[in-house]
Chains A and B, each alone.
Chain A
Amino acid sequence: MELQTLTYIVVGLTFALYMGIAVWARAGSTKEFYVAGGGINPVANGMATAADWMSAASFISMAGLIAFMGYGGSVFLMGWTGGFVLLAMLLAPYLRKYGKFTVPEFIGDRFYSKTARIVAVVCLIICSVTYVIGQMKGIGVAFSRFLEVSYDVGLLIGMFIVFFYAVLGGMKGITYTQIAQFCVLILAYTIPAIFISLNLTGNPFPQLGLGSTMAGTDVYLLDRLDQVVGELGFAEYTTQARLSTMNMFAYTMSLMIGTAGLPHVIIRFFTVPKVKDARASAFWALIFISILYTTAPAVAGMARLNLINTIEPAAGENLAYDERPQWFKNWETTGLLEFEDKNGDGKIQYNADKTTNEMVKIDRDIMVLANPEIAQLPNWVIALVAAGGLAAALSTAAGLLLAISSAISHDLLKGVIAPEITEKQELMASRIAMAAAIAGAGYLGFNPPDFAAGTVALAFGLAASSIFPALMMGIFSKSINKEGAIAGMIAGITITLLYVFQHKGIMFIADTSFLGDMSANWFLGIEPNAFGVVGAIVNFVVAFAVSKVTAEPPQEVQDLVEHIRVPCGVEEAHDH
């Protein structure tokens, strides 16, 4: 069957499935809307968390990043999984025990302060909005490449689907669609990887294939990869570090604590019945996530090798431009791949030297999206990849939108502005907030602000420097008081923002960077994207210092801390 038709069928079927689930899983109360009723099985929640967490960036971009960064790309692999260990041990069980609906709500109660709650809402909204722009762009790109509809129409269809199940079902609808989306995205990711691993090494497990010998030879795949990238003048794949050891350390740590502090992930743990379910759920989430995250490095290495082998099948024998394969032409028309015949010989030269390299542009996102085509896999696999990319973007977008809308309707409206509204009114308000959040995210998807590209790193930086430390201190210390927490959060965000802005420009406007984006001025050689950990340390230090010199928290707050440390007697997630 024609690829185009097949893609429409596969994507159409998955969308029909999501809509069906939406109709079946409608929310009838605020408890269902915010935490899916609080009765989700831990394995199911693990699966939903995995889909919630694995975004367009994990699905589409990560393997491509690793393909060009080699060993240096490990910061994403370790950072984005290691954060779940912190979440499992430091936050999830205690926040579940506390048993409310949102992250700012805990911060507001534990630090007995509406100001703290509002600061947390602001941090949450900045993190989640920057993140959601990326998902919206992912939806638009996936549609325009695979279904050949325009970016705008693609985005509208995506918004409609999310609107349908998120407004109708809230967390309940999102949870069950995320479970379906996890199944779609994990199949879409692993099936091409298995085929490619079989092709190259004869081993069906990509995780083992990457460490195996090339099929029919006794040369290890990674040795071969190191050799060919070396011959083209690139850094050795398996040892190419990301700047310095210090920078890799800080980058990994920032991604880990940022991951643990992202509200849309944390609220997933409010949906399970008991504390022990929250612990189990973190394990299941990590199992499901690790399927993709251990496959990604294999996809990365093998895609890099396949790309080079296509362009230069044997040393010195370069592919003639006129004989380039179909996928090469397809991606050239999207502008993500560009060739320039610098020496005029009609052949493609690809190497690390900017003056002679003729592959002037290879967008890293191609590595996953074009992978099945490069490996000459059947059309249904390519159609599945399109559905998988859309599932990854939709599931994460929905989770983020729920975090945003519940912060607005539950924390700002019910918590601060109009505490007297009834549950029915709050449910209506949360649906309106969700619709508004979708419209806002869509608007940003249609008109991505200039600074959009730089802001995803900011989401992790802010979560790491504000939300994570506040939550951790709220659980593990009885002496941190409201003054300390507020001062700490503000100090953490401020220093992180200042560092990013001073090197990348205020609101990412290039001319306003006052120290220039040059490594010579980096603090300890840490790149701006990796700075969240420093912000977190500042947050901890300021919070401790300020709490030392101000009044200790009232007795009932200290009792609250005692209360959340004991697993038994979990209250149903509800609002008081």
Chain B
Amino acid sequence: MAFKSEDDAKAYWKENVGIMIKLLVVWFIVSFGCGILFVEELNAIKIGGYKLGFWFAQQGAIYSFVILTLVYAKLMASLDRKYGVDDE
């Protein structure tokens, strides 16, 4: 184990899970929330020719997924550095 202490290992894992849960909440909102559960409400708003709910289901959710995986990779890289467990 490369951590300085047992506490460090626990703290690292806790922060890791925290990042994951926050991003998964966004993952859920943009797809299941905006694209399915609240699609009718959002469809009342139009952006160009797109009804907003329809846009989320066929475009927006996918763009959000791309951003989420990028943010995850960045946040985890800095977390690894903070605890000195990055693999350089």
Contact = CB atoms under 8 A, between A and B. Distances in A.
A568 B31 CA distance: 33
Chain A interface mostly: helix
Interface string A213-255: 1000000111100000000000000110000010011001100
Nearest to B70: A283
Given A249-B37, A252-B32, A88 B69 contact: yes
Contact of B57 (A78, A211, A279): A78
B61 A82 contact: yes
A568 B57 contact: no
B49 A220 contact: yes
Contact of B68 (A71, A85, A220, A276): A85
A133 interface: no
A567 B80 contact: yes
Interface stretch (A285-293, A332-340, A438-446, A487-495): A285-293
Contacts of A275: 87
Contacts of B23: 85, 89
B2 A569 contact: yes
A353 to B, nearest CB: 26
B11 to A, nearest CB: 12
A239 B65 contact: no
Contacts of A78: 31, 35, 57, 61-62
A276 B87 contact: yes
A565 interface: yes
A288 to B, nearest CB: 10
A74 interface: yes
Interface string B18-45: 0010011001000110011101100100
Contacts of B37: 245, 249
A569 B66 contact: no
A294 B62 contact: yes
Report which residue of B24, B66, B69 has the largest number of chain A beta carbons within 10 angstroms of its beta carbon.
B69
Interface in A84-102: 84-86, 88-90, 93
A210 interface: yes
Nearest to B40: A239
Given A85-B69, A286-B69, A567 B1 contact: no
Interface of A: 66, 71, 74, 77-78, 81-82, 84-86, 88-90, 93, 207-208, 210-213, 220-223, 238-239, 245, 248-249, 252-253, 274-276, 279-280, 282-283, 286-287, 290, 293-294, 297, 562-563, 565-570
18 contacts: A71-B54, A71-B57, A74-B57, A77-B58, A77-B62, A85-B23, A90-B20, A210-B49, A211-B49, A222-B54, A239-B54, A275-B87, A280-B73, A287-B66, A290-B62, A568-B80, A568-B87, A569-B2
